[in-house]
Amino acid sequence: MISLEPRHIYAPELYGDFWFNSGPISIHAMKGSIILLDFWDYSCINCLRTLPYVKEWNRRYKEFGFMAIGVHTPEFKFGRNPENVELAIKQTGMDYPVVTDNDSLLWTSYATRSWPTKYLIDKDGYIRYSHQGEGEYEQLERAIQTLLIEAGFHGELPELMEPIRDTDQPGVVCFRPTGEIHLGYLRGTIGNTEGFSPEATIDYQDQGVYLPGRLYLQGKWFSEKELIRFDGEAADQGSLTLIYEALEVNVVMDTAERHLTNVLVLQDGHPLTLENSGTDILFDEQGNSYIRVERPRMFNIVRNKEFSEHNLNLIIPSHVLSLYSFSFVTAPIASLISRN
């Protein structure tokens, strides 16, 4: 049996900025149906890792009176642009309704605190189940089925989804990866002794001594609230270095006025290879590994064969590049995986 929340909190209405894949949807008008609200952001790795489950649940249960609705509450300012959100919706294959929440009004009304967060709303409009972050996919799907039965469905429901990744297995024990690193002076953290100077440029000097989980800059960088932007001259070159522990590495970047920018990526002093490169890595004729930044989004740059510690170095050749955050993906501890 799944434990559902009591019928105490009525789901607030969905007053958003833009709707995709449908017209505006009213919670009140959807009485009798089960709704899954998924608060997400298209540049959030945890959100993107949960999307396959949401899409599949919407596909397999919509004929029984179930609907998924995405609520896109942007973490960064570029996420307020509906064109960016619409492109992400198309590229991820989301075919259910999505509403944008640019001023975080829905985020606040639902008391949401992190990306992603999911809420299950029952046939009478009450919030009956909620979950923050990744995981608990089996429990959430069981809750969907329980609410469908509670709503009056008496037929045969599909078998529960199999876990998509090893890290999704119930009871799995994973390594602790490096924590997310934000940039910008409001909540960013760097290892350089110069620190941040709000709305100003600093000529950073990389001293070559690194602490894990800190980011070290070289060259002239301008600090804004939620980003840092390379601010060197056309002939200058900037770089950043960090020591991390993870299976995968992602970085959120943007380039001004859609100016194509190639960013070189080195790991442990060498170009990436086909064995450890992320899905967004390209290679030139000399074997150099790089990212081509063409619009604001998250880029998957490293996929190691196993969880391990590495030195990551990005070389920035253009003054139009902005960086927002780095995120890291864990892996199961093989010796603790149950074989039963």
Q: Are the C-beta atoms of 228 and 217 separated by less than 8 Å?
A: yes
Look at residue 340 in the predicted model and tell me its pLDDT: 53
How many other C-beta atoms can be found within 10 angstroms of the C-beta atom of residue 286?
A: 6
In a domain, 150, yes or no: yes
Buried b (16+ CB within 10 A) or exposed e, 98-112: bbbbbeeebbeebeb
- H or E segment to which residue 86 belongs: helix 82-92
Q: Which of 164, 192, 215 is the last residue of a domain?
A: 164
- Which pLDDT band holds residue 339 (cuts at 50, 70, 90)? low
Domain enclosing residue 112, as ranges = 19-164
The pLDDT, as a whole number, for residue 211 is: 94
- Domain membership of residue 129 (yes or no) is yes
38 and 142 together in one domain: yes
Task: Note whether 119 and 263 are same-domain residues.
Answer: no
For residues 69-96, average pLDDT? 97
| CATH number of residue 143's parent domain | 3.40.30.10
Per DSSP, the three-state class of 52 is helix
CATH code at position 279: 2.60.120.260
Contact between 253 and 293 (Cβ < 8 Å): yes
- Please tell me whether residues 330 and 185 are part of one structural domain: yes
Domain membership of residue 3 (yes or no) is no
Is 153 a domain residue? yes
133-143 tens-digit pLDDT: 999 999 999 99
What gap in Å lies between CA 1 and CA 17, rounded to an integer? Answer: 38
Residues 157 and 188 in one domain: no
Does 186 lie in the same domain as 255? yes
Structure tokens at 238: 């900037």
Do 145 and 202 lie in one domain? The reply is: no
Task: Look at residue 232 in the predicted model and tell me its pLDDT.
Answer: 85
